[in-house]
Amino acid sequence: MRDDTNVSGTKYANLFEPLKINEIELPNRVLMAPLTRNRSHSDGTPKEWAQTYYGQRASAGLIITEATQISEMGKGYLDTPGIHTEKHAEEWAKIVDAVHANGGRIFLQLWHVGRISHTSLLPDGASPHAPSAITAESQTYTANGFEPTSQPVAMTKDQIAETVEDYGRAAELAVKAGFDGVEVHAANGYLLDQFLQDGSNERADEYGGSVENRMRFLTEVLDRVTEVIPASRVGIRLSPLGQANDIHDSDPENIFGAVIDMLDPRGLAYLHFVEDFSGKATDEQQQMLERLASRFSGAFFGNGGYDAAKASQRIADGKVDAVTFGKKFIANPDLPERFRLGAELNEPDQSTFYGGDEHGYTDYPALDD
């Protein structure tokens, strides 16, 4: 087993080895996961607080922003940020500048929620878009608190084509804002995931049925995004275990194996798995995830249920190249330094995770505070 202490006595030393993902060098392997915080203006413009929040966490090897909707129809939760207007890009640019000023790197996560939405959140009370008109047994967060998701409508081919263009426009605005790259969110039961998995996709056209057809929308989105941003600066997030938002497939290893085989030759920045969203993944499920990950030859990021010791061991075993941390980064803006020193971690206040003011957002102390 690899020693977890280097010559200077730093515990879990491999967490602090640089990682090169194509032309981007990450200074460490303690990455910040995308974290929905519901603190933007109602029109999707980030608030000024976000400059402080992200800037405080710039010591992460890479920050992946909170999920950011690519269009008005992509919104699924109250006060989440957007990347579909010039104003959005202008405010995101200030956040990117704050991260860069502190020596950090930041990718924007591109998001369309699909059926995980509510009519009160969408333009003119529209019904959510989805591959098929199947309501998710799930909830979303509205002005009234948590409510069941609304009945969706099956997207027309024209609407699919428009959404592909929305991804392209969002990528263009991300470039304008100065992001180092983008992550395409195809996980956790949102729109791209809904097209992939047969529990939510019952289409009979070229976007449904066979594995190849169900992958078509994702393939078109990636083609469009990489027209704007080099593939070397585009990551993707998947969740093959289907642990969120009523998503499931009759043969997940088959569909996700095909997806990864499609992704591998593209030269993407990384593949990012939600490995254990609920903390209940079985050994068999974990083995499936490892088989799937082994089909990708680029950088692989793990997520779910990690602490410093587990992350270090998984890196040493060659199972992951880096790990994204969520709740720990919420409460510990200087998480890499705390891991390096073996320092005590702040405990997150779950009551402040979604919505609110700067309390529980920018006021967690760093060690030198």
CA distance 275 to 281: 8
Burial group, residue 326, by CB count within 10 angstroms (0-12, 13-18, 19+) = middle
Nearest CA among 183, 269, 179, 175 for reference residue 221 = 183
- Of 53, 77, 141, 190, the active-site residue reads 190
Nearest CA among 92, 78, 39, 34 for reference residue 330 = 34
Name 84's Cβ contacts closer than 8 Å, sequence gap at least 6: 44, 69, 70, 71, 72, 74, 166, 169, 170, 173
Read off the tokens for 59.
Answer: 């010591």
How close are the terminal C-alpha atoms of the chain, in Å? 36
By DSSP bridging, strand 322-325 and strand 30-32 are parallel
CA distance 192 to 224: 14
For the question of residue 190 being annotated catalytic, the response is: yes
CB atoms closer than 10 angstroms to residue 261 = 13
Read off the tokens for 346.
Answer: 């702040």
- Number of H helices and number of E strands within the chain? 10, 14
Read off the tokens for 351.
Answer: 């009551």
Measured in whole angstroms, the distance separating CA 40 from the mean position of its chain's CA atoms is: 17
Active site residues: 190
